[in-house]
């Protein structure tokens, strides 16, 4: 990809999301929106490419309003253009983690029933597939003008899969209104402007990387340095030319491990934001001591986008995720700590093909039940103290134990399993599996690990495997995972130097 200038339409469309993502860039078409190792993409090029790709989606692949377009792709600027193209068509953008195996992708395709799969690798599934490069080549034959499909705040824009404790995937449908409210509100709260340059180290299949980081940049007319992965040396090299970084706690602990991180290397930076997993107090303190910058923690979910944020100007309270964003209501029910519930324009309306979950996931007065346990102080700052839902967050990515247990239980010689999270200094939590062998059979840890690597995305593969005689249960027969976590922590403590 090379930088080039093109003539594009300057008028705004009646498509809410397209107008938000392309509006600022249309006022500065020759400005670089995305800097990438493959070449720079200007706002004009993004506008043009998204229009051409929209034509290809419609005319080559028969994608229409409301169709799902599933995308499992490497992190390149063309993914952003494809996302905008889906909005222009009125299609529902459905990104998948690049680490998902063919089995995992196939299961999600069965659920989403997409019209098109954008994926480089071939796979055995009835869904029509095209690689990202092929789609870009197809789009080159079309005009750079596209009549965007009209939309409003209620128009479905994205489908993101998140599992529940049942292990069956749930697809959260995010509307254009959800996404537009999210990025425009965050731009206001974090004072994002066209002068900002973002260090983009997050995946584009994740809410944090796409609908927060990338959308904030595009909707404000800023620029981003799109890095394909997190490399400490690469990040340290571009910090002096950047103003904002959004990351997960693991990113900041790894930066702290490098002696080159200092106040000098971060002179041009105005804001470091962290989310997707809790951050230790020591990380906050060490980062401030080394750089003079106070990390800003915020809180959000797949189903809601961002919910709260510590203030840009004002007290950033360590151990909290700040007060609710403007226009968002947050409450804690059932005591203190209690279950965190949220209502507002950021909250999704429903799960894909799961209408029965409306009863269990929302309160009668319309608050979404997050499943997190929290405490609200007198100033409205929220502290997350635990989770009622069985969820592990490792390196900022969600892992759902039941999904893994269902897979582990199919392995030869395995009677049953239980998956929990263990404290981990680098990733926040480490996926850990307790496995019980069938009577008279033997299970080897290395065999379990090899099979898991073949069946699961790499971030889901348990770091710790423990073969045990049985799993602790209460009087009702429920596995006592609290006891398993305690036993695991004790074991890891004894084995540490």
Mean pLDDT of 357-361: 91
Task: Please say if the pLDDT value at position 142 is more than 50.
Answer: yes
* pLDDT at residue 7, rounded to an integer: 33
Other C-beta atoms lying within 10 Å of the C-beta of residue 464: 16
Mean pLDDT of 189-218: 97
* CATH class, 392-495 region: alpha beta
Task: Please say if the pLDDT value at position 495 is more than 80.
Answer: no
**Cβ neighbours for 231, distance < 8 A, ≥ 6 positions apart:** none
Task: Please say if the pLDDT value at position 207 is more than 50.
Answer: yes
Task: Please say if the pLDDT value at position 165 is more than 60.
Answer: no
Task: Please say if the pLDDT value at position 9 is more than 70.
Answer: no
* pLDDT at residue 289, rounded to an integer: 98
* pLDDT at residue 163, rounded to an integer: 55
Using CA atoms, how far residue 329 sits from 354, 387, 489, in Å, is 25, 19, 36
Mean pLDDT of 348-377: 93
Task: Please say if the pLDDT value at position 381 is more than 50.
Answer: yes
Q: What gap in Å lies between CA 132 and CA 71, rounded to an integer?
A: 9
Q: Express each pLDDT in 263-309 by its tens digit.
A: 999 999 999 999 987 888 889 999 999 999 999 999 999 999 999 99
For residue 227, give the 3-state DSSP assignment. coil
Task: Please say if the pLDDT value at position 448 is more than 60.
Answer: yes
* pLDDT at residue 166, rounded to an integer: 47
For residue 261, give the 3-state DSSP assignment. coil
Q: Express each pLDDT in 392-426 by its tens digit.
A: 889 989 887 888 988 999 999 999 899 999 888 88
End-to-end CA distance of the chain: 49
* pLDDT at residue 478, rounded to an integer: 72
Q: CB–CB of 128/61 below 8 Å?
A: yes
Angle at Cα 223 formed by Cα 180 and Cα 17, nearest 5°?
Answer: 20
Whether CATH 3.30.450.20 fits 16-190: no
CA count, 13 A, side-chain hemisphere, 8: 28
User: How large a percentage of the chain has pLDDT more than 70?
Assistant: 95
The DSSP code sequence of 39-70 is --EEHHHHHHHHHHHHHHHHHTT---TT-EEE
Task: Please say if the pLDDT value at position 1 is more than 80.
Answer: no
Helices (H), 195-323: 207, 215-220, 232-238, 249-256, 281-291
Angle at Cα 480 formed by Cα 469 and Cα 478, nearest 5°?
Answer: 95
- pLDDT bucket at 475, cuts 50 / 70 / 90: low
* Domain map (residue ranges) of the chain: 16-190, 392-495
Q: CB–CB of 210/174 below 8 Å?
A: no
CA count, 13 A, side-chain hemisphere, 407: 23
- pLDDT bucket at 5, cuts 50 / 70 / 90: very low
Q: Express each pLDDT in 13-24 by its tens digit.
A: 689 999 999 999
> What is the chain's length?
497
Q: Express each pLDDT in 151-161 by its tens digit.
A: 999 999 999 99
Helix pair angle (16-27, 176-190), 10° resolution:
40
Q: What gap in Å lies between CA 16 and CA 479, rounded to an integer?
A: 48
Mean pLDDT of 46-64: 98
* pLDDT at residue 210, rounded to an integer: 97
pLDDT averaged over every residue in the chain: 92
């Amino acid at each position: 990809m090379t930088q080039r200038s093109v003539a594009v339409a300057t008028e705004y469309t009646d498509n809410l999301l397209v107008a938000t993502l392309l509006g600022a860039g249309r006022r500065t078409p020759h400005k670089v929106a995305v800097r990438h190792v493959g070449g720079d993409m200007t706002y004009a090029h993004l506008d043009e490419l998204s229009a051409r790709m929209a034509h290809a989606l419609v005319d080559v692949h028969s994608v229409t309003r409301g169709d799902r377009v599933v995308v499992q792709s490497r992190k390149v600027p063309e993914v952003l253009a494809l996302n905008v193209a889906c909005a222009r068509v009125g299609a529902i953008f459905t990104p998948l983690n690049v680490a998902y195996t063919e089995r995992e992708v196939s299961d999600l395709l069965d659920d989403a029933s997409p019209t098109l799969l954008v994926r480089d690798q071939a796979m055995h599934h009835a869904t029509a597939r095209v690689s990202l490069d092929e789609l870009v080549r197809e789009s080159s034959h079309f005009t750079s003008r596209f009549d965007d499909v009209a939309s409003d705040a209620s128009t479905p824009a994205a489908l993101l899969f998140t599992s529940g404790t049942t292990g069956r995937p749930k697809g959260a449908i995010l509307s254009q209104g959800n996404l537009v409210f999210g990025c425009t509100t965050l731009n206001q709260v974090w004072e994002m402007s066209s002068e900002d340059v973002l260090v983009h180290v997050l995946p584009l299949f994740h809410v944090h990387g796409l609908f927060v980081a990338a959308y904030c940049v595009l909707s404000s007319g800023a620029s981003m340095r799109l890095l394909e992965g997190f490399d400490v040396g690469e990040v340290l090299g571009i910090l002096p030319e950047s103003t904002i970084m959004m990351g997960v706690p693991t990113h900041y602990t790894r930066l702290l491990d490098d002696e080159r991180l200092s106040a000098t290397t971060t002179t041009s930076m105005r804001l470091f934001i962290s989310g997707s997993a809790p951050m230790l107090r020591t990380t906050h303190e060490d980062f401030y001591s080394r750089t003079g910058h106070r990390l800003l923690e915020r809180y959000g979910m797949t189903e809601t986008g961002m919910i709260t944020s510590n203030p840009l100007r004002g007290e950033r309270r360590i151990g909290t995720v700040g007060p609710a964003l403007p226009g968002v209501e947050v409450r804690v029910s059932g005591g203190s700590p209690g279950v965190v519930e949220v209502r507002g324009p950021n909250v999704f309306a429903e799960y894909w093909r799961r209408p029965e979950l409306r009863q269990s996931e929302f309160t009668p007065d319309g608050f979404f039940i997050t499943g997190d346990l929290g405490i609200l102080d007198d100033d409205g700052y929220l502290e997350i103290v635990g989770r009622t839902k069985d969820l592990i967050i490792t390196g900022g990515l969600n892992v759902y134990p039941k999904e893994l247990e269902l897979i582990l239980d199919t392995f030869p010689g395995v009677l049953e399993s239980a998956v929990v999270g263990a404290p981990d200094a680098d990733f926040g939590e480490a996926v850990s599996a307790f496995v019980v062998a069938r009577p008279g059979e033997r299970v080897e840890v290395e065999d379990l690990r090899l099979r898991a690597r073949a069946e699961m995305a790499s971030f889901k593969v348990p770091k710790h495997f423990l073969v045990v005689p049985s799993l602790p249960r209460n009087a009702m027969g429920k596995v006592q995972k609290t006891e398993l976590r305690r036993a695991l922590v004790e074991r890891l403590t004894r084995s540490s130097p």
